[in-house]
Amino acid sequence: MTSTQTSPLTFLKGHGTENDFVIVPDAENAVDLPAALVARLCDRRAGIGGDGVLHVVRSAAHPDARHLADEAEWFMDYRNADGSVAEMCGNGVRVFARYLEHAGHVTAGEVAVATRGGVKRVHLDKDGSVTVRMGRAVLPEDGVTVTVGERSWPARNVNMGNPHAVAFVDSLDHAGKLDDEPPYEPAGVYPDGVNIEFVADRGPRHVAMRVHERGAAETRSCGTGACAVAVATARRDGADPALSGAPVTYTVDVLGGTLVITEHPDGEIEMTGPAVIVAEGTVDPAWLAPRIETVND
């Protein structure tokens, strides 16, 4: 790959229920995005600001997605705000699909998007909402206990292509500030880290959540987290669509809006919510150059 430091870097900014992303179009995978540069782009004070980076690459051009090129032309090379690579991002894949439409690569209707969590089928509705078929949840038996201050809760282990720990609380305030990852035990259940959701009931088939995202601290929304929350809540409520033969739908309020999650009897999970492109521009190549820290004796 060639370096981004010799020419301006084209970017867009988008969000899904205020889970916001820096979008880097790079069809041929020619842009070098080391972790340090991703973190700078996502810096809310010195950079563009975002919960992560959506690197837009043709599947055939990226080594992590070439095996999916026959199923999906475009690959969402997703990075967390700290620069680490992530398997999937539910809000991100909606914004990614909205970008493809914005750029003229696709039209409203069905779109396939390759991710490290597999190919996701997306429907771009003409009313502006986006529905993603998120695949099936995996429910490992081993869970953890999450602690904030003097309070602890058992957390359900749910995998949506990325790991989640879902804890039910009486009040979302009990989650604290969520600047740092809440401690959990045993740590070995999640060797690569975990997204932690705190969930409070709002009504029948209606919950609210806050989330500490792996590699990003608290975010305004998490799509895979909302799916994990809906599945965990359904199991808590005894509403398993595989047993009833009927879809189960939950409304999940996040800090940045509302997502609607439906789990079908075959296990397929659909998530519906907004996705918005808010800006586009270029980054000065001088800013992209590595910063040299000096220390005065």
256 assigned to a ligand binding site: no
**CA-to-CA distance for 275 and 18, rounded, in angstroms?**
9
Q: Please report the beta strands in 26-127, taking only residues with DSSP state E, as ranges in sequence order.
A: 52-58, 74-80, 109-115, 118-124
* Residue numbers annotated as active site: 89, 222
**CA-to-CA distance for 140 and 158, rounded, in angstroms?**
7
**CA-to-CA distance for 74 and 60, rounded, in angstroms?**
8
18 assigned to a ligand binding site: no
List, in order, residues 6 or more apart from 250 with CB less than 8 Å away: 205, 206, 207, 229, 230, 233, 234, 260, 261
213 assigned to a ligand binding site: yes
19 assigned to a ligand binding site: yes
**CA-to-CA distance for 283 and 261, rounded, in angstroms?**
36
58 assigned to a ligand binding site: no
Measured from the Cβ of residue 45, the count of other Cβ atoms closer than 10 Å reads 5
224 assigned to a ligand binding site: yes
195 assigned to a ligand binding site: yes
223 assigned to a ligand binding site: yes
107 assigned to a ligand binding site: no
Binding site for substrate: residue ranges? 19, 80, 90-91, 162, 195, 213-214, 223-224
